[in-house]
Structures are given as structure tokens and as C-alpha cells.
């Protein structure tokens, strides 16, 4: 009788071996020294490529970007929250994510649902998600090296480090509660 209850688990594991694995979406990370510089850069992208769709993971980030766009006199209709954007809205237009979600699986899920081949993500070293993994030390190092605040950092090694950080977070939490901001998400989901 006990084997009968184990059959669904065995069947799921066995057939998942034969499933075609969906390849991971390539992520291009563009890292800014601080959030203010990142928002300015996003505004410049909006000027240079007006049809760009900007996607935030958290309501608070959406509101900050909308405020920045409003102050510059830009229309905010191209800014969306990830949970409220659909594939037809992003077809044949550039898409920019304005932050990372702390869990890579959640990001991959949305990238795939939107039919993206590649994701461009703008982040800032002073954002709560990156601070969790010691970005303050990177800020200090960049300042010592004379890096300019308006020049982004972009390298495959950084993208790899962010992916590793997301994987570490995944191991620390059992269920990702939703939140309005990165700060709230980290506070609610990470063990203290």
C-alpha cells in the first residue's frame, strides 16, 4: 500500500529526466554606483530609445522611476511592474529591467513568459539586494580606484556573481513572500 503513495513522486522524478530543459536567458547586467545615477541613465535611455519598456520588480522601484520620468517631463506609460506586463506589450521593442528580483528562478520565469531572448538589467550598488552581499566594499574599492559615478560597471563576472548571490538566497529561504520593495522583501524573507 505504501508503494502506491510513492508512485506519483517516482513518476514525476522519472519523467522530469526526459523533459527538455529550457536554456537560461542571457542576462546583461549594467551596474551603477548609486540609484540616483541609475535613474538618470534610465531617463537617458528613454530619450535615446523612446519605445523602450522599463520593468520593475517592486512597486517602490516603479514609483521612484515614475517620479524621475515625471520630473524630466517624460511619459510614464512605458514603465511597468513585472507582474502586470504581458508578452504582447514587449514584442519588437527594447526591454530594460530596472532592478533584479532576489530569486533567479522568479526572474527566469518572467523572462520566459515575456518571450525574451536576452534580459538587460540595470542595478545600483546601493540597492538593498546588492548590499546584502557586501556591495559597500565594492563601492569603497571603486571610489579608491577613481571610478566615476556616471560610468556603469559591466562585465560577465558581475552577472555571474549576481546569479550566484541569487542562488545563495534561494537556499536560505523556503518561500518568497511578496513585498512592495527590495528592503521589505529581504526583511520578510531572509532569516535574521
Instruction: List pLDDT tens digits, range 20-75.
Output: 555 678 999 999 999 999 999 999 999 999 999 999 999 999 999 999 999 999 99
Structure confidence at residue 122 (pLDDT): 97
Structure confidence at residue 23 (pLDDT): 61
pLDDT band at 142 (very low <50, low <70, confident <90, very high): confident
For range 2-16, the mean pLDDT = 50
CA 33 to chain centre: 17
Structure confidence at residue 15 (pLDDT): 53
Integer Cα distance of 76 and 95 in angstroms: 15
Cα torsion through 36, 37, 39, 41, rounded to 10: 170
3-state SS class at 162: helix
Integer Cα distance of 38 and 31 in angstroms: 8
Structure confidence at residue 24 (pLDDT): 75
Is the pLDDT assigned to residue 7 strictly greater than 60?
A: no
Is the pLDDT assigned to residue 4 strictly greater than 50?
A: no
pLDDT band at 169 (very low <50, low <70, confident <90, very high): confident
Nearest-5° Cα angle at 103, 188 to 136: 75
Q: pTM higher than 0.85 for the full model?
A: no
Is the pLDDT assigned to residue 162 strictly greater than 90?
A: no
Question: pLDDT (tens digit, 9 = 90+) per residue, 87-126?
Answer: 999 999 999 999 999 999 999 999 999 999 999 999 999 9
Structure confidence at residue 129 (pLDDT): 87
Integer Cα distance of 119 and 91 in angstroms: 13
CATH superfamily of 24-189: P-loop containing nucleotide triphosphate hydrolases (3.40.50.300)
Structure confidence at residue 173 (pLDDT): 79
User: Regarding predicted confidence, which is higher, 63 or 162?
Assistant: 63
For range 120-140, the mean pLDDT = 86
Is the pLDDT assigned to residue 8 strictly greater than 80?
A: no
Question: Which span out of 36-45, 132-141, 150-159, 162-171 was modeled with the highest average pLDDT?
Answer: 36-45
The number of beta carbons lying within 10 Å of the beta carbon of residue 17 is: 6
Which residues in the chain belong to E strands, given as ranges? 26-32, 53-56, 79-81, 95-97, 118-124
Amino acid at each position: 500500500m505504501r508503494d502506491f503513495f510513492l508512485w506519483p513522486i517516482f513518476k514525476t522524478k522519472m519523467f522530469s529526466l526526459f523533459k527538455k530543459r529550457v536554456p537560461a536567458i542571457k542576462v546583461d547586467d549594467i551596474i551603477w554606483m548609486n540609484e540616483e545615477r541609475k535613474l538618470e541613465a534610465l531617463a537617458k535611455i528613454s530619450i535615446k530609445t523612446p519605445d523602450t519598456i522599463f520593468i520593475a520588480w517592486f512597486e517602490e522601484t516603479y514609483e521612484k522611476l515614475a517620479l524621475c520620468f515625471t520630473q524630466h517631463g517624460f511619459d510614464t506609460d512605458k514603465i511597468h511592474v513585472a507582474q502586470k506586463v504581458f508578452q504582447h506589450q514587449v514584442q519588437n521593442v527594447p526591454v530594460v529591467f530596472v532592478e533584479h528580483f532576489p530569486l533567479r528562478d522568479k526572474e527566469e520565469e518572467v523572462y520566459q513568459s515575456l518571450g525574451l531572448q536576452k534580459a538587460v538589467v540595470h542595478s545600483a550598488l546601493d540597492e538593498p539586494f546588492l548590499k546584502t552581499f557586501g556591495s559597500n566594499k565594492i563601492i569603497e574599492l571603486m571610489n579608491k580606484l577613481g571610478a566615476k559615478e556616471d560610468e556603469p560597471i559591466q562585465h560577465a563576472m558581475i552577472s555571474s556573481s549576481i546569479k550566484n548571490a541569487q542562488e545563495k538566497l534561494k537556499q536560505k529561504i523556503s518561500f518568497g513572500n511578496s513585498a512592495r520593495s527590495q528592503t521589505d522583501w529581504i526583511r520578510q524573507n531572509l532569516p535574521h
